[in-house]
Chains A and B, each alone.
Chain A
Amino acid sequence: MNKDQDLPLRNDIAARFVPKIIILMVYLGTLCSTFTFFMIHSTLLWEEKLTTHLSMEIPFFSDASSKDLQTRVTDLLQKTPGINKVEVVPKAEMQTLFHSLLGEGTNVDTFSLPAIVDVSLNKGDAFDVDNLETQLKAISPLIQLIDHRLWQSQVSNLLFTSTSLALLLTFLILCSTLVTTFFATRTSLLIHRKIVEVLSLIGATPSYIAKQFQRNTFKQGLFASSIGAFLAFLTFLGIYFLLENVGQTFIVKTSFFFEVLAIFILVPFITSFFMMLSARRAVMKALCS
């Protein structure tokens, strides 16, 4: 005899459709929360990259003045406080960039490509960009300073909106799972009304009856959400390998993979826990009113 068998909950009608709904909900919810995590990671990486990097564009001149200009600029940058690293983007990298934009057959040597200087700033230090720009313009008014921070806020806003939407969607999926559980429990309570009545008449407290529903819902929820999370994990792996095949990378940091793995493991437990609370609420509300 098992403690949770006072009510034959395993084979009722509610038990037949609920797991299927939970599998679908958890599948969508897990993918959504993975996407949210991905967005949060991307936002942080972007912000770090954009707030600590500047680029200089030195125009190409056919005479030797280009090289001299480049040297003067790098000298100035190396002397400027707050700058961590100055790196002239190598020609080969520039060519790769242009090939990816214009096609492999393009002869980029025929273009008057400007020299790009990539500057890394010290993290957390205040940096006077306007002063640097004035000094660069003094060397040559044609030198362009590209401050990524100007459009960083716009990108951040976009990422923040996407992250919030993904979070909202995850929350809504969780809510619909809980509402489904609530009404399925109410249905189950109606199906077993006679047994519940007998249990009440022999002195069972609403809490005792609720526990029976809770245990059943937890087991059912854990089973169904494990399947949902596993399917979502397979989908995640599918997307990852698909992106790998087309030369893109999905994982923004190594830690991201482990964090996502933690989501896939924790989601079934979190979902079934909340489902259990929802089932309890449904029973207590019906029996204590």
Chain B
Amino acid sequence: MSEVIGELLGVGHQYDEGPEIFKGVSFCIEKGSFRFITGLSGSGKSSLLKILYLGLKPKWGSVKLFGKDTFQIKPTLLPLLRQKIGVVFQEFNLLDHLTVIDNVSLPLRVRGIDIKQSYKHAGELLEWVGLGDCLKAYPPSLSGGQKQRAAIARAVITRPQLLLADEPTGNVDDEMATKLLCLFEELNKTGTAVLITTHNQRILKKFPYPQLALKEGTVFQLPIEKKAS
């Protein structure tokens, strides 16, 4: 049995006095696993991911990451947990005052890696995702797809133990989407657990991995899609 690095138990959430987005959600994330979270828009996919990257505290249930109960952990230890997670935000969350290479190398710098080395890694990665000519560009001057790729590069640069991607293919064409999913697959092969929210059916068909579907506030395990050619 593979090692569990994340565990949600009876997790539920509602924003302020609004309706419950989901309730009693329980599932495990095993080391080296690859999963999609699917569901209609507004079903709570992004909120679920937010809970996993410790950006949101659920109202009910418990969340364990890397063996630590995130409700019990000291606030000073949260960054250490976050350093094991790579996140591709739906709104990219690139820092507009930093160049693309600065944005991508940021996770390395916050871990204390020197600027030269982090620039080297970031440069190589950006070259790979097709942003080799945008190293010194600022995010506001990039297209949606370019921002998406920069955000992905930033999320994977540290080779995290868990990669959470919120609609990572939402702003790119099919060819780039496939290329990015291949990057996630490669990362997965090195032991990174990958959890991706998407509603892109072509991607789901092309990459037949287990799916968790969020529907009416609960989560269902779906059968693996038949691989498309």
| A interface, CB within 8 angstroms of B | 1, 3, 5-6, 8, 195, 197-206, 208, 287-289
Contact = CB atoms under 8 A, between A and B. Distances in A.
A203 B79 contact: yes
B110 A202 contact: yes
B153 to A, nearest CB: 12
Given A1-B102, A6-B106, A199-B110, A204 B79 contact: yes
A197 B79 CA distance: 11
Given A6-B95, A6-B98, A289-B75, A201 B53 contact: yes
13 contacts: A1-B115, A3-B109, A5-B102, A195-B95, A199-B110, A201-B82, A202-B82, A203-B85, A203-B110, A204-B79, A204-B110, A208-B110, A288-B76
A103 B75 CA distance: 78
Contact of B95 (A3, A198, A203): A198
Instruction: Give the size category of B's interface with A.
Output: 20 to 34
B154 A201 contact: no
Contacts of A206: 76, 79
B76 A202 contact: no
B109 to A, nearest CB: 7
Nearest to A11: B97
Contacts of B130: none
Tell me if A's interface is mostly helix, strand, loop or mixed.
helix
Most B Cβ at <10 Å: residue of A197, A202, A203, A204: A202
Interface in B75-123: 75-76, 78-80, 82-83, 85, 87, 89, 93, 95, 97-99, 101-102, 106-107, 109-111, 115, 119
Contacts of B119: 1
B196 to A, nearest CB: 17
Contacts of A202: 82, 87, 106-107, 110, 154
A3 B55 contact: no
Interface in B143-173: 154, 158
Contact of A3 (B76, B83, B98, B115): B115
Given A6-B95, A198-B95, A205 B102 contact: no
B110 A288 contact: no
Given A1-B102, A6-B98, A205 B79 contact: yes
Most B Cβ at <10 Å: residue of A3, A6, A8, A201: A201
Contacts of B106: 6, 199, 202
A202 B54 CA distance: 10
B110 A205 contact: yes
A1 B79 CA distance: 24
A206 B77 CA distance: 10
10 A-B pairs with least C-beta separation: A203-B83, A204-B110, A205-B79, A203-B82, A8-B97, A198-B93, A202-B107, A203-B79, A1-B102, A288-B75
Contacts of A205: 76, 79-80, 110
Given A6-B95, A6-B106, A201-B54, 15 more contacts: A1-B115, A1-B119, A6-B109, A197-B55, A198-B93, A201-B55, A201-B93, A202-B154, A203-B79, A204-B79, A205-B76, A205-B79, A205-B80, A208-B110, A288-B75
